[in-house]
Structure 1
Amino acid sequence: MGRLLLKVVAGIAAVIAVFWILSMLVGLLVWLVMIALVIGVVFLGIRMLRTEARR
């Protein structure tokens, strides 16, 4: 009975660890996408300002 309980607890801990790692990776990916979007918008704004200044 004790070994079975230990295996169940170990399995639950493994599943929680996998989901925690996946959530960390997804969160990091979301942050990277947001940073890339902000940088892209800033560069686009600078480019538009330069073309307006030439006219």
Structure 2
Amino acid sequence: MGRILLIAALVVVGLFLLGSVIGLVFSALKWVLIIGAIVLGVMLIMKSTGSRRH
């Protein structure tokens, strides 16, 4: 009985840790996509304003 409770507790702790890790990965991915979109927008603006000067 004690072994089953220990395994169940380890599974629950593992799921909590997995949820935290997955949340951290998706949060980092969200920020990478936001920063990438900002950089792409700035590059497009710089390219469009730079071509008008020539």
Common topology (TM > 0.5): yes
Runs of 4 or more consecutive aligned structure 1 residues displaced over 2 Å after TM superposition: none
| RMSD of Structure 2 on Structure 1 (CA) | 0.9
Identity %: 22
TM-score (normalised: structure 1): 0.84
- Structure 2 gaps, min length 5: none
2:47 is the alignment partner of 1:51: yes
How many residue pairs get aligned? The number is 51
- Structure 1 gaps, min length 5: none
TM-score (normalised: structure 2): 0.85
